[in-house]
Structure 1
Amino acid sequence: MVNVPLALIGGVLALYLAGEYLSVPASVGFIALLGIAVLNGVVLVSHFLHLRKSGMPMARAVLEGTQRRLRPVMMTASIAALGLLPLLFATGPGSEIQRPLAVVVMGGLVSSTLLTLILLPVLFARWGERRLAAGV
């Protein structure tokens, strides 16, 4: 759930920089963005937990887990962004509806993916051991 604010940062910033307003399509974009961001976080954390349960020390589990899950996380984000690229540059009828959705998702994916790959492992290494000991 740490990924949710990270995704929102990029989505809101992208809307602002693109000169778009928060609209229904932008809200739908936020829903899609949050789903992708949470999925990427689950992919990382579940692998961290798997490595920890196999007996690997925390620092090594976080480092190795991030390295092993870098490709799936990057592929998910890049495929979603590439799929929305035509919506971003559309000029025909209805493009004013499609563009805010693409702006939100693409901007949020950039911030969410980068911060997830950098910040989430650090936070897990710092506080994940307590959560594991508590059985949460």
Structure 2
Amino acid sequence: MILLIGIVKKNAIMMIDFALVAEREHGLSPVDAIREACVLRFRPIMMTTLAALFGALPLALGYGVGAELRVPLGISIVGGLIVSQMLTLFTTPVVHLWFDRLSHWLAARRMRRMTSEQATIQ
């Protein structure tokens, strides 16, 4: 579990960090920034996941003395990496865009509240 959480977290941080830099420094919209981050960070993310997956394959395909104890661990690591990778690649951009919309909505709400308070004071 710790391995899977660490890999997913690292992948999401790489993607979001790249998108935020593209938004701030290159002036891209959030949609364009996260799309560019997904395209450019896809290969390093896949390389990390595939390295961990291929490292767990001997456990999953193991045989011999004591293999019945190690095979379930290998299968759960391989399956967890595949599922978590799909979830990371598809949900991280969506969550990033949701948080961007939420921040814009809260900023607009804060501005409306400030203008209504100023109107009441005057």
Instruction: Provide TM-score, normalisation by structure 2.
Output: 0.76
Spell out, residue by residue over 1:31-81, the C-alpha distance to the aligned partner (whole angstroms, 9 max, x if none): 211111111111111111111221221110011111001111111111111
- What amino acid sits opposite 1:61 in the alignment? A
2:65 maps to: 93
Q: In 2, are the aligned partners of 1:85 and 1:102 still within 8 Å (CA)?
A: yes
1:73 corresponds to which of 33, 45, 49: 45
- Residue 36 of structure 1 is matched in structure 2 by 7
Q: Mark the runs of 5 or more structure 1 residues left unpaired by the alignment.
A: 1-29
- Number of residues of Structure 1 aligned to a counterpart in Structure 2: 105
Aligned-partner Cα distance in 2 for 1:120–1:107:
19
Shift in Å, 1:126: 2.1
Which structure is richer in relative contact order (CA contacts within 8 A, separation 6 or more)?
A: 1
- Cα distance in 1 for partners of 2:93, 2:57 equals 29
Q: Which runs of 5+ in 2 are unaligned?
A: 108-122
Q: Is 1:118 aligned to 2:90, yes or no?
A: yes
Q: Relative to 1, partners in 2 of residues 1:46 and 1:131: Cα closer, same or farther, differing over 3 Å?
A: farther
Correspondences of 1:1-80 after superposition (within 5 Å): 30-54=1-25, 55-80=27-52
Indicate the residue corresponding to 1:14 in structure 2: none
Distance change in 2, residues 1:36/1:91 (3 Å): same
> How big is the alpha-carbon RMSD for the aligned residues of Structure 1 and Structure 2?
1.9
In the superposition, the TM-score normalised over structure 1's length comes to 0.69
Q: 1:110 to 1:130 in 2, by over 3 A?
A: same
